[in-house]
Structure 1
Amino acid sequence: MVKKKRFANWILDVGDGNISSAVGDESEVEISDYLLITTTDDPLSHLVDFIYPNLLQNMSDYMYLQNRTILAPTLESVEKVKNFVLTIFLGMKNEYLSSDTTYQADENEDVQQEWFTPKFLNDIKCSELPNHKLTLKPGVAIMLLQNIDQTLGLCNGTKLIVNKFGNNVIGAIVVTSRNIGNKVYIPRMNLIPSDSGLSFKFQWI
């Protein structure tokens, strides 16, 4: 608890500009040694080991997952961490591919569907959607990106452990929120990102 409070106070100080120094047009923040992983031979492996020690042995411990997470600054970094963690798990990979199409909305009524090839749509990456190819293994943790059923605790940010795979559905166990331990099924669904950086609408299935 003391370490968490110390870290929280440090984050607040960074946000308030209390511990930064100006270097030209940028701000420089000194990070304390206790927050650093100093090994450099394989930094990603050491990061995962630091946050998730004995990962495979503790995956059935819900509190173990509730108290740990890795935050990354970019989607590219998220993908690197995800791909590395997948190599730790045993079992066969299960791959799910999305079917992306343009979505006819009022603000893009002049958009012609043929302008956007499937490859172009499949390569779009944004924080509101999974990648075109979703690769999973039994036992891996996933997080919902949409509200599905609040009564079952299936809300944006809910963590689950995958345990079953179907053609259009994924079976999982809830490991956060008030419904810890519930077995649920996540179906394939239509998602329409609201990313303001896109000049058109498309739907992910």
Structure 2
Amino acid sequence: MSKPNEGNAEVDIPPELLITNFNNPIEAIVQSTYPNLLSRYQNGQFVQSRAILASTIEAVDQINDYVLKLVPGEQREYYSADKIDKSQINDAQAFEFDMIPPEFLNSLKASDIANHRFTLKVGTPITLLRDLDPSQGFVTGTRLIVTRLGQFVLQAQIMSGKNAGNMILIPRIPMSPSRSPWPFKLVRRQFPISVSYAMTLDKPQGQSLNNVGLYLPRSVIRHDQLKVAFSSVKSKNGLKILIQDKDDKAMSSTINAVFKEVFGNL
């Protein structure tokens, strides 16, 4: 029998944490998390100390695209080469998978592989999706800032921590999801990074940020999602939450499969 504070429950968010007055929710969460962005977007300390966390990959991409259009600078688009790993499938399956168009493979997304297409500018914050050089601090989850855009390699610099300032050249590498949500193994050759003005809720584990904007375009249902979001911000004053329903109207509660006492840890 579930206790009153366990299981799926509708959790009311404290009013002081909520963003409720907005016309464009993405604009509102960006302005709250990155105030005066156009005058501070090249300030590594400003960028590295904050992030927007969103509950879906689609929302993360929308926010990152929105911010990249805001900040000035020459941009460059990067595209992956996608294929299906046929090493562990039979001939019949191989024939079926050969019928899948490349455009479909390009459309697939998972939180632990790079998107097929992304846009970068010098000064863009990124997160590593693979270990590249652990001895120098270049491990999965490290946040960096792009310093040079090349055709075949990217140059980036660690923004904070004991390895702050270390530079790395990032090549394209083959990647596959750790757990494939599809009936085949996708192999995507791309730079092992994601743009990180916004991140999915599982990305900031272990990070401590001054400002976190939590964007929930739909209810949170995983038991650890709110916990991760709240544990990534240093103080309650640095957290703002925007929740919207299907009609883009502000909400003050969310469905959360976790102890309601999560707010008591802030």
TM-score range, shorter chain: 0.7 to 0.9
Q: Give the TM-score, by structure 1 length.
A: 0.81
Q: Counterpart of 2:170?
A: 186
Q: Counterpart of 2:154?
A: 170
Residue deviations 1:66-86 (CA, integer Å, cap 9, x gap): 331111111111111111110
Q: Is 2:104 aligned against 1:137?
A: no
Query: SS of the counterpart of 1:69?
Result: strand
Q: Is 2:87 aligned against 1:88?
A: no
Distance (Å, rounded) in 2 between the aligned partners of 1:196 and 1:187: 23
Contact 2:44–2:145 at 8 Å: present in 1 too?
no
Q: 1:76 aligns with which of 58, 63, 72?
A: 58
| CA RMSD across the alignment | 2.1
- Whose strand proportion is higher, 1 or 2? 2
Distance (Å, rounded) in 2 between the aligned partners of 1:17 and 1:197: 34
- Whose helix proportion is higher, 1 or 2? 1
Contact 1:105–1:201 at 8 Å: present in 2 too?
no
Q: Which amino acid aligns with 1:45?
A: E
Distance (Å, rounded) in 1 between the aligned partners of 2:138 and 2:37: 24
Once superposed, which parts of structure 1, at least 4 consecutive aligned residues long, lie more than 3 Å away?
Answer: 56-63
Q: Counterpart of 1:36?
A: 18
Equivalent residues, number: 184
Do the aligned partners of residues 189 and 177 (structure 1) sit closer, same or farther apart at CA in structure 2, a change above 3 Å counting? farther
- Structure 1 residues not aligned, in runs of 5+: 1-15
Query: SS of the counterpart of 2:174?
Result: coil
Distance (Å, rounded) in 1 between the aligned partners of 2:4 and 2:33: 27
Map residues 6-85 of structure 1 onto 2, 5 A cutoff: 18=5, 27-85=9-67
Q: Counterpart of 1:200?
A: 184
Q: 2:130 aligns with which of 138, 141, 146?
A: 146
Contact 1:89–1:140 at 8 Å: present in 2 too?
no
Query: SS of the counterpart of 2:131?
Result: coil
Q: Give the TM-score, by structure 2 length.
A: 0.63
Q: Counterpart of 2:85?
A: 103
Query: SS of the counterpart of 1:129?
Result: coil
Residue deviations 1:5-37 (CA, integer Å, cap 9, x gap): xxxxxxxxxxx964x8x9xxx621111111111
Matched-pair identity in %: 36
Distance (Å, rounded) in 1 between the aligned partners of 2:119 and 2:105: 18
Query: SS of the counterpart of 1:70?
Result: strand
Query: SS of the counterpart of 2:118?
Result: strand
